[in-house]
A and B are shown apart, each in its own frame.
Chain A
C-alpha cells in the first residue's frame, strides 16, 4: 500500500528517538509517518527497565505514552516493514520497503544500534545469542532464553541485562571476559575491563553505576589492581563478576551444553591448568553496541569514525542535520547513549526539521537552541552512560563534521 502523496517527514525507526521526533514534528503541523521492521513500536526501549532512586523506570511505559500521543496527533505508524533502500528523486526521498515504496520530503533515520559479536569457538551453536537477544526474549516476548546462562563480555549492558534476567528467575552462572583474540583486542584483559568499569563509577547515584565503585572498593586502587582480583570473582547483585576468568570455548553437540573457562593473569594470558567446564544451556555474548547506519550510507551521507560514540557515525551537526539535503539523524545512529538522550535528540531533530521547512517562523533559532540545550542537559544527568566522556567526544565530533556542513549547507561551524 503506497500513499498517493509524499509525507512531510518519514521516520525510519519507532524507538525512543523516532517516536519522540514524530510527536514533536506532528504537533508542529508536519504530516508524519514512522516505519519499523519490528512487529511492535517502541524500539529497544521495550525491553529496558532499571532501578532509579528506589523505583523502576520501565521503557515500555514510556513507549506507550509516546504512542498515545502519536495516535492523538494522527501520526501513521507501520510496523513489520523493513526499509531496504533510500533514494533521492528530485525534491523527494523514495524509500523501498518490504511492503512497497514510500515518498517523503524529509527523512529522519532513527535506526538505533546493533551489537558487536565476540566470536569464539562454538559460538554458532544454537543457544548462543547476543546479550540483547536474551533481554528481548525475556522482557519483550516473556520467554526465558534458557534456565542457566553465562554472560561473556564485561560492559554496562552485560551488567544491566544480567540483573534483569536474574530477577526474572533465570540463573546466571557468571559474567566472564571474552579472552584476548584477534577480534576482541586489549579491552578483553582484566586490567582494561576494570578500567572501563571504574571510569563509569562516577556516574552514581545509579545502582548500576555503583558497580564500578563497588568493584573498585572490593579490589583496591586502579592500575596495579588487576593482579589482586580474586579468582572467584566479586558478587554484584548475587551475580558473580569474574574479571580473572575467560571463556575459552562453547561446547555442545547440537546446542549449548557447557562453556570451558580458564583463569588469566592481569594481562589476560591464560594460566596453564586452570581450565574447567561450566554447565549452562545458553550463552549471551556482550560485545557492546555500534550505530546501525547503513541507510545513511545508501543515502550518500559521509561518515566519521568516533570510538567513544561506538564506531562509524554519519556526519551531522549538533542540530541533527546531515550534509545530505532533507536527511536527518537522531538516537543511537548518532552514537551510543541511553533512551532518554535518544528521546531528547528526537525532539531536537523535529525542531530542526520544522525550522528548515519554514514552520517555526521567526522563533526558529531560539526553539532549536533550546532543544539543543535540552539534549546536553539530559546527557549530563543520564544514569546510564555507555562510555565515559561522551559530551567531550560529541563536541569533538561536531567540530570534525563542521567542515562537511560548511561545504554542503553553508552552516557555520560550531565552537
Chain B
C-alpha cells in the first residue's frame, strides 16, 4: 500500500525514520525502523499476518492498537508478538503465525 509522504493536514512525519531491511517468511523487504511490523508489512502490500490455528484461513490486522490479538506473528528471538505494537528493527526475521497440527487443538473443522 502507498505510504503517505506528506500528509495534507499533518504535514510530513516529524522524526525521520531510518530505512532498514527485514525478512518475512524468508523473503527480504525494506521498512522504516521503529514503525510497527504491521505497518511495514502493509506498506509493502502484505496483509496476511497469520493463518488461523485450526482452519488455516488467512488473517490480518484488525484493530491496529493492541486490543484484538488478530495480528499475532513470530519474530525470531522474541516469540509471538502483536505486529501492530511491535516496532520494526534492522534485520528482524519475521514469520506469519502458523496453523497448528490438529492433535494440539484436538478439534476437527469441516
Contacts and interface: CB of A to CB of B under 8 A. Distances in A.
B66 A49 contact: no
A125 interface: yes
Contacts of A168: 4, 7-8
Given A114-B67, A292-B67, A126 B13 contact: no
A128 interface: yes
B28 to A, nearest CB: 19
Contact of B10 (A58, A124, A255): A58
Given A141-B39, A147-B1, A128 B9 contact: no
Interface in B44-62: 47-49, 52, 57-62
A337 to B, nearest CB: 18
B4 A144 contact: yes
Q: Interface extent on B, as a size class?
A: 35 or more
A147 B58 CA distance: 20
B15 to A, nearest CB: 10
Given A49-B10, A129-B63, A142 B85 contact: no
A192 interface: no
Given A39-B85, A80-B87, A82-B66, A133 B61 contact: yes
A137 interface: yes
B91 to A, nearest CB: 18
A126 B62 CA distance: 8
Contacts of A255: 47-48, 58, 60
Contacts of A167: 8-9
Given A56-B9, A137-B39, A124 B3 contact: no
B64 A133 contact: yes
Contact of B36 (A39, A56, A134, A292): A39
Contacts of A126: 47-49, 58-61
B86 to A, nearest CB: 8
A144 B3 contact: yes
B4 A125 contact: no
A129 B60 contact: yes
Contact of B48 (A58, A139, A254): A254
A137 B64 contact: yes
A130 to B, nearest CB: 5
B1 A145 contact: yes
A145 B38 CA distance: 11
B60 A39 contact: no
Interface in A116-145: 117, 124-130, 132-134, 136-139, 141-145
Interface residues of A, number: 41
A37 interface: yes
Contacts of A82: 66
A57 to B, nearest CB: 10
B43 interface: yes
Nearest to B17: A142
Given A58-B10, A126-B48, A143 B43 contact: yes
Interface string B1-38: 11111011110010000000000000000000011100
Interface in A61-80: 80
A127 B61 CA distance: 8
B90 interface: no
A347 interface: no
Most buried by A among B34, B48, B61: B61
Contacts of A80: 85, 87
B100 interface: no
A51 to B, nearest CB: 9
Contacts of A125: 58, 60
Contact of B63 (A115, A124, A254): A115
Given A132-B63, A142-B5, A168-B4, 9 more contacts: A58-B9, A60-B10, A124-B52, A126-B48, A126-B49, A142-B3, A143-B1, A143-B39, A167-B9
24 contacts: A37-B66, A124-B52, A125-B58, A127-B60, A129-B63, A129-B64, A133-B63, A136-B65, A137-B64, A141-B36, A141-B39, A142-B7, A143-B43, A144-B2, A144-B3, A145-B1, A146-B1, A164-B9, A167-B8, A167-B9, A168-B7, A169-B2, A169-B8, A255-B60
4 A-B pairs closest in CB distance: A126-B60, A133-B64, A126-B47, A141-B39
Interface of A: 37-39, 44, 49, 56, 58, 60, 80, 82, 114-115, 117, 124-130, 132-134, 136-139, 141-147, 164, 167-169, 254-255, 292
